[in-house]
Each structure stands twice: as structure tokens, then as C-alpha cells.
Amino acid sequence: MIAVPGFEGQKVAVLGLGRSGRATVRSLQAGGATVVAWDDGADAASIAAGEGIALVDLTQPGTFEDIACLVTSPGIPHLYPAPHPVIAAALAAGVPVDNDIGLFFRSLGRADWDRFDQAPRVVAVTGSNGKSTTSALIAHILTEAGREVQLAGNIGRGVLDIDPPEDGGIVVLELSSYQTELARSLTPDVAVFTNLSPDHLDRHGGPGGYFAAKRRLFAEGGPDRCVIGVDEVEGRFLAGQLSEGPADDRVIRISSGQKLGGPGWAIFARKGFLSEYRKGRQIASVDLRSVAGLPGAHNHQNACAAFAVARTLGLGPRPIEAAFHSFQGLPHRSQLIAEADGVRFVNDSKATNIDSARQALMAFRKIRWICGGLQKEGAIDPLLEATGQVRKAYVIGREAAHFAMQLKGLQVDVCGDMATAVARATADAEPGDTVLLAPATASFDQYDSFERRGEDFAAEVEACLATRATVKG
């Protein structure tokens, strides 16, 4: 646990008592703060009360008269489309609002770090797509190299729930726009920007606000090294703002699909090969085509980002390449869950927006595509441009018929639920086909998370294949 200093003898309020919220309470108490907490959900509040956390209804008038700071969970709106009433009350009372990420960075450095031969370092990864895989891949590479690594944030453990890093320890954080927008302290040693595509626009007041939330990690954090995906204009703009000139190797530009030139430091993947260039010369190359845990161009971009971070931290190309091959990938992200009679079944339930689903569709051939759910803002035209390998779409969700109407030019089967979609796709599939779950939508119309949707897909595939095996037997 990371103890949070600076609030000794003061009262701090915590809003939201999920896993990270309860860890925040414990960390503040360990630093000497008096903590009062609240959650609108009865279940979360009950769990917190069972752990001895003092509950105070923060919605009551006058609550913030003696509060030094409000710490809120990332899922709670603090600005758009409207602040949560508790946050609005705190702001009206002039009380600072922070989150666990901000507390982590203000608490990390300790006086006893002077005894370390090598100070701990923090790698922070943000972006629209690929940040989970990139974060996990960085942690895997460093672990394989014998480094002390902890994975936290949106993946792994809560950021305040990790152990204080020791001599040479590395903390890898996956950070969402919700976290980077609000954190009052952001000071990573290495920061990664994977890419940007429309997402969470209601929470950020549009695409400009969304990009600004991501940009804070770099503009306010002042990392020693920045790894920037430049396949979108926002990434190119950010890289240009951060570098002093074309040869400034504090900024490492990465790409999937285009060769990057110039005198600076660049890492890119084309046609399945990763290349590293410095000062206009190629200094390393990795064949990614046989790396089973990183299929498709979008995962090759993740590989470029992780390669760049590992090189920044002193690893050579060959150990990184070896670690690529032992990486198993993450659940619900281009995850091969079964193969039978020449048909592959791939779970990419994490493809919750148009761009991530488009990348998934570009990674496979002869696709039986299971899609649909709670549709987000924006047209799906960019997604349709990547459907050349789709043999048929099987649409799920409460508004399956509406989503199906937008899939112009495709053969479509409106299924409604996962069991029907898997059964029909499996029955139609031929050797060489891939049954791919890449919804392009949020899960919340039928599931409480993308993980639960992916687990349901895997269960239905298992049941369907078992029934087919019984019939054949």
C-alpha cells in the first residue's frame, strides 16, 4: 500500500467505494488523514461499511465546511455532461478535487530513496485503443528481463494498493482519459500515447476535450521520454509540441503501417516487421508475423510502443523479441478461445468503439462477425470500410435491428442475443473462417461489462462445440 502524506490531521472525503475507492481510503488513513466516504450504490456502501469505513452522506448541505480535499473515483462525472452533485458541492465550496492517480504521484517519492542505487520509475500509458495490451506487454517484457515490475491503474491492482517500489523498481500504469483529466499531479518518467479515436465524448464535451484530457499526461507531467503514436493528426500534433526539433530523441515516434523517416528516434511496423531507426539509420528489426499473442496491425502498434519503452529502460532488441513470443495476450482482446474443424473463434469483446472494431476486422480473414450492443456516438462509415473480409454479420443487442440497418452492403442476420449469434455463426462457418466477436459498441444494454460479454461468448462457443461433437459422435 502507498501511504498518502500531506493530509495529517485533516479530513478528506472519498466519493465512490469500489475497489480503488476503498484502497484510497486505506492509503489516506495510513498517511494520517481522517476519512469520510460515500457511495450512491447501496452494495458498495455496505461493503465499505463492513470494512470499517466511516460513511457520511456527502450530498447533505454543509458537508464540505471542514473538508480539505475530495477524492473521487474515475467513473463519476466531474464536469461533463454535468458534475455529480457531490463534486459540484465541493467545487462550490472551493474544495480541491483529485483522484487516486493524483494522490499516487504526489505520494510516490520518499526520503529513503536516497539509499537506492537506482530510483524507481513510472511508465504511464494512455490512448483510445491498445493501452491495456501495451501496458501488459511492457510489464511482461520487463519481468522476463528480471526487473521488479508492478502493473496498476486500469489494469492489475489499484494504483494505491501496490507495494512501494524498491531499488530499480518499475510501475507500469494504464491510465484512462477520466483519470488523466482530473489528477492534480502527473509526473511519469516515461509516457506513452497509443492513438486517438472518438470515445467518451459525452464525458469530455467533444473530441477536443477528449484529446486535452489525454494531452495532460505529457504537457503537465513533463516525462523524461515520450512515446507517441503518430498515425493520427492528434499524435503528430502532440509529438510536434513535445519535441525541440526533428532530432530530439526525447520523443520516440511510433507507427503501424507507415515508414517513419527523419533524424530522430522512430519505431514502426510494416508488413509484419518492426523496425527501429535512430539518426536516419536502422538499428534493429523484429519479425512480428509469428508472434501469436500480437495478431494484426493494431497489435503491431502496441508492440512498437512496448519496444520503445523497453529500449528507453535499457533493454536490447533480442530480449524484447524473445519476450514478444512468450506473451499470451489479454482476455477479450483478439483472444483465440477455440479452434475446431478449421474454424477459429476469437473474442475481442474489448472492441467497444468503431476504431477498435475496425482494427479487429482488419486483423483476420473470412470473418463471421458478431457485433452490436449499446451504440456510441458517431457514424459507423469508417467501420464499413474495413468489412471486406466479412462473410456475414450476426447482430446482437437490444437494438440489433437498428444496428443491422447501418451495415450496408453486408449479409446480415439479426440474432438479438449471444447464444443465437454463436449458434448461427458456427453453423454457417466453413474451414478457414474466423468467428469474431468485435462488437463496436458498449456492452451495457445486455451485460454489466465487456468482460462479462466476452465470457458469455466463450461459454456459448464451448457449449456449441460440445453439442456439435456429441452429434458427430
Which CATH number goes with the domain that contains 411?
3.90.190.20
472 has a pLDDT exceeding 70: no
Q: Does residue 3 fall inside a structural domain?
A: no
Domain contains 6: no
Kindly tell me if the per-residue pLDDT of 133 is higher than 90.
yes
306 in Cβ contact with 137 (< 8 Å)? yes
C-alpha cell at 162: 501496490
> Is 350 annotated for ligand binding?
no
pLDDT-based confidence at residue 161 (cuts at 50, 70, 90): very high
- Asked if residue 201 lies in contact with residue 377, where contact means CB atoms within 8 angstroms, the answer is yes
Same domain membership, residue 228 and residue 354: no
pLDDT in tens, 66-89: 999 999 999 899 999 999 999 999
203 in any annotated domain: yes
pLDDT of residue 47: 93
190 in the same domain as 83: no
Residue-level pLDDT at 296:
86
What gap in Å lies between CA 394 and CA 370, rounded to an integer?
5
Between 332 and 303, the more confident residue is: 303
Residues 90 and 124 in one domain: no
pLDDT at 141: 98
Q: How many other C-beta atoms lie within 10 A of the C-beta of residue 40? A: 16
> Distance between CA 255 and CA 232 in Å, rounded?
9
Is 132 annotated in a binding site? The answer is yes
Number of independent structural domains in the chain:
3
State how far the Cα of 421 lies from the Cα of 67, in Å rounded to an integer.
52
For residue 120, say if its preceding peptide bond is cis, omega within 30 degrees of 0.
no
pLDDT bucket at 363, cuts 50 / 70 / 90: confident
Choice among 98-102, 116-120, 375-379, 433-437 with the minimum mean pLDDT: 375-379
- How large is the average pLDDT for residues 137-157? 94
Q: E strand or H helix at 210, and its extent?
A: helix 207-219
For residue 5, tell me if it sits in a domain.
no
Read off the pLDDT band of 328 (50, 70, 90). Answer: confident
- Residues 159 and 184 both lie in one domain: yes
Asked if 233 and 131 sit in the same domain, the reply is yes
**Does residue 68 sit in the same domain as residue 187?**
no
With cut-offs at 50, 70 and 90, classify the pLDDT of residue 160: very high
Q: What is the pLDDT of residue 111?
A: 67
The CATH number for 309's domain is: 3.40.1190.10
Closest to 310 (Cα-Cα) out of 153, 180, 147: 147
pLDDT of residue 181: 94
Q: State how beta strands 273-278 and 281-287 pair.
A: antiparallel
Among the candidates 82, 98, 114, a domain finishes at 98
Q: Is 133 annotated as a binding residue?
A: yes
User: Is 102 annotated for ligand binding?
Assistant: no
Residue 131, annotated as binding a ligand: yes
Same domain, 52 and 110: no
Note whether 179 and 320 are same-domain residues. yes
List the CATH number of the domain containing 38: 3.40.50.720
Residues 75 and 210 in one domain: no
Q: State pTM to two decimals.
A: 0.86
Q: Which pLDDT belongs to residue 376?
A: 82
Do 396 and 261 belong together in one domain?
Answer: no
Q: Which residues contact 239 (CB under 8 A, 6 or more apart)?
A: 226, 228, 230, 251, 253
Same domain, residue pair 17 and 134: no
Q: Alpha-carbon distance 158 to 334, whole Å?
A: 25
Nine-digit cell at 153?
491503474
Name the residue range of residue 87's domain.
11-98
Answer yes or no: do 282 and 402 share one domain: no
E strand map for 208-271 = 225-229, 251-256, 265-270
Q: pLDDT tens digits for 238-261? A: 999 999 999 999 999 999 989 998
